[in-house]
Structure 1
Amino acid sequence: MTHITMADRRVAITGLGCITSRGADLEQVWNDLLDGKSFIQSIRSFDTSAYTSQIAGEIDTWEGIPSVDSRDLKRMDRFAQFALGAAIHAVEDSGIDFTKEDPWRCGVNIGSGVGGIGEFADGHKKLLDKGPSRVSPFMVPKLMCNAGSGNVSIHFGIKGPNSAIATACASAGHSLGEAAQAIRHGVADVMIAGGSEAAVTPMGLACFVAIKALSRRNDDPTAASRPFDKDRDGFVLAEGAGILVLEEMEHAKARGATIYAELAGYGQSADGYHITAPDEAGTGAAHAVEQALKDGGINPTDVDYINAHGTSTPLGDVAETRAIKRIFGADPAGVPAVSSTKSMTGHLLGASGGLEAIAVCKALQTGNVPPTINLAQPDDECDLDYVPNTARQINPTIAISNSFGFGGHNVCLAFRKA
């Protein structure tokens, strides 16, 4: 038997699962992205008449998880339900049978930016209206950010490394990167990782309205998220989950698993600049990209596609463009194709990096990269090839995905075609 050292341990992506405002069918969601369909609509679950932003990538048809007891689901906030639902889809997609795996060699790392914000708001209202005796005993296990990871590990009987990372909109990126490290360092053979969020609530929307981060294009929801466009006016809040199954490469091959891609590199950094605004020069973000490429043994000239963080904010899109140029050169002709799937999905906060990692894996598998829709007139400082409005077949072999979060958190993941 060939002895595999830690240095030889590579990370395969063998399962993909998502919950989105356009459903949970992976192929349908992927086809919608390639077709440039917007996931955004007017919010329906609560009255938004007092809000300046009234649109979102809202999941308004959620009916739970058929294979999970409804009593168990009632003890989970929606973000944890989304995490479990997407994890079940990812595990089914991977074909792995955890009853045949060593549970101590399998783990979970599912991030969330705000966790059970809906449960927190509901519990606070009960406290004010009815007193402390009416606060639910399930409030803490429902609102805590690690509820997604905890419930997934319980469902599958997984006993290995179990973590939940909360780094705002970089949460899922960090979770995937750290899950990959657990495999590469010999701590685990299989990891379920990604992110989940359910912040389309009265409180969640109010928080982001208060910091003037959201688009006000309420009369035209599908055109509201417009990364890199001159007329962008903020991001569009969204919810859902993106969960992937990661395996040690030889473990995956031994059981005959379908391998979507290899997670080859992981880089992270901090801006050390401002709690909500990005470093305008893009130095922190560029460092994360540089580290991911170095970690994967990848030259910048080998990268074919960049899935941008691309939130549609005035400052963020320019800063990311500058960061990309720091790594790939100032001449736009020498920069790989870039696109922002948030133009369609909206911004899933801590779950965004999970859904975008899925998009990258599908791009590597199929050869097609999704577009940046609503890009009618690029910002003067956003002069790269953002794959405007129409998907493109470029047959990438190396792709990276950027995730940046409030607090100055930067993550880049580098993927290689299987």
Structure 2
Amino acid sequence: VLSPDGRCKSFDADANGYTRSETVSVAYLQKSKDAKRIYATVVHGKTNCDGFKEQGITFPSSIMQSALLKEFYEECRVPPSSLAYIEAHGTGTKVGDPEELNAIDSVFCKDRKEPLKIGSVKSNLGHAEPASGMCQIGKVVIANETGRIPPNLHYNKPREGVKSLEEGRIQVVTEPTPWDGGYVGVSSFGFGGANAHILLKSNPKEKVNGGAPKDDLPRLIVASGRTEEAVDSILKD
């Protein structure tokens, strides 16, 4: 599953696995009535598992992913066609990408007037494995704050045989893409068969002071280096 050239080419015809990465990601959950800054609202979340398949525990299942998505949107009563963007798991593996795209196509691409935009942050920073879902949420928050969806890297031509890409029902975001906010679905799958999906809604309120807080409270700034001298150099600069 690891890419020999160290690049995660999510959804691309030349995808050959993912590259590993390490991240520290934190989300602060708060009731909206208590929140001073709202980056996004969690509308719904749901999981299921497909680790019992005959093909083996590591083999992804578009059938179970589709079942999760169908149940999910029935429960939260949000039409799948109303989503503007999906932040997909998108590992860039030979089996994983087609299975996920087929599931997305079966649920989100019915009755759509425009192609569904998708992307995967793994093409930008690699696969953080247990922390990867938090990286995806972070990317969506950045899109909410900036009004632009960050582009996928290493996508040149659609995966052969994936009709939703070849026929244009699903469109991989390859340039910084303006958007007006709305609903965004985020999918993250575990190596042992866990499937998770969360629905986020952007904050429509206009940001005060460009989104920066107007106060003189202390802020945590993190700096790191391989040696004490390297950290000193960073702090001095």
- Settle same-fold status: TM greater than 0.5: yes
Q: Could you tell me which residue of structure 2 aligns to residue 407 of structure 1?
A: 192
Give the SS at the match of 2:33.
helix
User: Do the aligned residues in 1 keep the contact of 2:81 with 2:110 (CA within 8 Å)?
Assistant: no
Deviation readout 1:263-294 (Å, 9 max, x if unpaired): 00112112242311111xx1211222233333
User: What does 1:154-303 correspond to in 2, within 5 Å?
Assistant: 213-217=1-5, 221=6, 224-252=7-35, 257-271=36-50, 272-273=52-53, 274-279=56-61, 282-303=62-83
**How far off its partner does 1:241 sit?**
2.0
CA distance in 2, matches of 1:367, 1:240: 24
Residue identity over aligned pairs, in percent, reads: 28
Aligned letter for 1:263? Answer: V
Are residue 348 (structure 1) and residue 136 (structure 2) matched? no
Give the SS at the match of 2:34.
helix
**How far off its partner does 1:394 sit?**
1.9
CA distance in 2, matches of 1:376, 1:331: 27
Aligned letter for 1:288? Answer: L
CA distance in 2, matches of 1:240, 1:348: 6
User: What does 1:35-114 correspond to in 2, within 5 Å?
Assistant: none
CA distance in 2, matches of 1:308, 1:244: 19
CA distance in 2, matches of 1:333, 1:406: 34
Match of 2:85 among 292, 295, 305: 305
User: What is the alpha-carbon root mean square deviation over aligned residues?
Assistant: 1.8
User: Do the aligned residues in 1 keep the contact of 2:109 with 2:116 (CA within 8 Å)?
Assistant: no
Higher radius of gyration, 1 or 2: 1
Q: Could you tell me which residue of structure 2 aligns to residue 326 of structure 1?
A: 106
**How far off its partner does 1:314 sit?**
0.6
Aligned letter for 1:229? Answer: D
CA distance in 2, matches of 1:358, 1:245: 11
Provide the aligned length of Structure 1 versus Structure 2.
194
CA distance in 1, matches of 2:31, 2:140: 19
CA distance in 2, matches of 1:375, 1:322: 18
Under a length normalisation based on structure 1, what TM-score does the superposition of the two structures give? 0.44
Match of 1:386 among 162, 165, 172: 172
CA distance in 1, matches of 2:124, 2:60: 22
Q: Which protein has the bigger helix share?
A: 1
CA distance in 1, matches of 2:45, 2:64: 14
CA distance in 2, matches of 1:378, 1:315: 14
Aligned letter for 1:230? Answer: A
Deviation readout 1:325-376 (Å, 9 max, x if unpaired): 1101368865421011110110000100001111112222332112221111
Q: Which runs of 5+ in 2 are unaligned?
A: 204-237
CA distance in 1, matches of 2:98, 2:91: 11
CA distance in 2, matches of 1:318, 1:331: 21
CA distance in 1, matches of 2:97, 2:113: 19
Q: Tell me: CA distance 1:354–1:296, structure 2 relative to 1, closer, same or farther (3 Å).
A: same
CA distance in 1, matches of 2:33, 2:112: 39
**How far off its partner does 1:396 sit?**
2.6
Q: Which has the higher contact order (CA 8 A, sep 6+)?
A: 2
Under a length normalisation based on structure 2, what TM-score does the superposition of the two structures give? 0.76
CA distance in 2, matches of 1:301, 1:338: 13
**How far off its partner does 1:408 sit?**
1.3
Q: Tell me: CA distance 1:332–1:234, structure 2 relative to 1, closer, same or farther (3 Å).
A: farther
Aligned letter for 2:19? Answer: V
Q: Tell me: CA distance 1:243–1:290, structure 2 relative to 1, closer, same or farther (3 Å).
A: farther
Q: Tell me: CA distance 1:291–1:331, structure 2 relative to 1, closer, same or farther (3 Å).
A: closer
**How far off its partner does 1:261 sit?**
0.9
Q: Tell me: CA distance 1:269–1:330, structure 2 relative to 1, closer, same or farther (3 Å).
A: same
Q: Tell me: CA distance 1:380–1:331, structure 2 relative to 1, closer, same or farther (3 Å).
A: farther
